[in-house]
Structure 1
């Protein structure tokens, strides 16, 4: 796992670290995910959760850890979360610091099943998030089915938002929906000071991206705080 911080620029503190899968040789997520299939999807999903929780505890993470999960690997929500809970108990990591992200890029065949998963996670006190919002198959239809605690604006919406009025208008509209539904928004993939300032002016205060820190392999990276 590599970890990349999600920061709250109001307090200049880390809100969470996203756990990003890597190969043991340091290879990227695409290489690893390309090897996931129907035969190993469940084992892979479970292994990622356990590794993320174990490393979060070992690294002394005093904030949330955000874990990507594969909905199609979860056959029954209550049963499939047991291994994660056991790992949290074993490594003494508080379960109320767990965030589970579902990427909008993964095609979800059974939305009712996904809804049951997220309801079960919420019942247990976990936070839930839609990752890559605005990039995937479902868009607002997915949000209409269930309302997570967090949505993460896809980096393609963020990129050059300071000079692109269309992206600016779309993000502004999404933030209006978030406010109406009491959902927090995270801008991910922020790389430039101009992007940051534009998003900050729109009211976003949670950020993730190279402007602040690149992912660090099995460690917590130093954070660069841009001047307001």
Structure 2
């Protein structure tokens, strides 16, 4: 394997991890689902989330990234993406995509951009995935150059990667970013969506926006869904992709997701329990646990894949 991955190694769980100083970097994956009109869920993608560990204890990502030396920022940024790519590839799924976060501001020159895109492409191919299964989620800072963002996205598209923008809130700067980057996916800002889901006028506006994006070939993603009732509203709004604790929590690689949400061409097995049992809302299940940091792998789910069972 290429020396650019020399910081990667397998841990005792056979997951890919990386070391940086006193930290060990772990990869967590959170599923993103589609949902049909009957409430049947299909796992469509994962989002990669970094989970740093120091002296055997997990620490918050913000604490870790604030400790990274400035000259190492680009390297660590790239290393985290490589971890997510290899851990997703190890699941051996044929169709699931992977959403990776990018901070374009860390790349200064065209050479920096080309080098990073080539690095990510090599990691993708080494993992057994293809570039069209990797969605590059572009986070924009206020001082980022529009020219630099445009060049970065152009290079990613040239190599076959998909593009997403995050935290879309329909403000002027969001619309400008949408027009500039012309993404394949748009992640709506979670708090903004939750506020609009609370009333009929807001929900109607969200429905219009989702349909307008679909007509442009853009798939909307509603993330941060913590309540199964929000998921039901999204079903009524025909939201293409959903993510949140109400559906599945992030799990440390290697995860249980292949067992919980098997990839198959067959139709999911029908759940014969009364529909009222399937739709009952249980706050102890669907709301986040009140722990300050919850980085351990989620317990293995016992629900049958397909219709929501709780």
TM-score (norm 1): 0.87
* In 2, Cα distance between equivalents of 1:108 and 1:16: 30
The unaligned stretches of length 5 or more in structure 1 are none
2:76 aligned partner: 44
CA drift of 1:9 comes to 1.4
8 Å CA contact 2:114–2:155 kept in 1: the answer is yes
CA drift of 1:165 comes to 4.5
Bigger Rg, structure 1 or 2 = 2
SS at match of 2:51: coil
The one-character-per-residue Cα deviations of 1:42-71 (angstroms, maximum 9, x if unpaired) are: 111111121111111223243111111111
Question: Is 2:35 aligned against 1:9?
Answer: yes
8 Å CA contact 1:157–1:171 kept in 2: the answer is no
1:91 aligned partner: 127
Assess, with a 3 A threshold, how the Cα gap between structure 1 residues 194 and 33 changes in structure 2: closer, same or farther: same
Structure with greater contact order relative to length (CA < 8 Å, sep ≥ 6): 1
Assess, with a 3 A threshold, how the Cα gap between structure 1 residues 91 and 134 changes in structure 2: closer, same or farther: same
SS at match of 1:2: strand
Q: How does 1:12-27 map to 2 (within 5 A)?
A: 12-24=41-53, 25-27=57-59
SS at match of 1:30: helix
Total equivalences in the alignment: 227
1:121 aligned partner: 156
8 Å CA contact 2:117–2:155 kept in 1: the answer is no
* In 2, Cα distance between equivalents of 1:219 and 1:203: 32
Assess, with a 3 A threshold, how the Cα gap between structure 1 residues 172 and 123 changes in structure 2: closer, same or farther: same
The one-character-per-residue Cα deviations of 1:10-43 (angstroms, maximum 9, x if unpaired) are: 3632111100111034333333333356422211
TM-score (norm 2): 0.65
Assess, with a 3 A threshold, how the Cα gap between structure 1 residues 26 and 59 changes in structure 2: closer, same or farther: farther
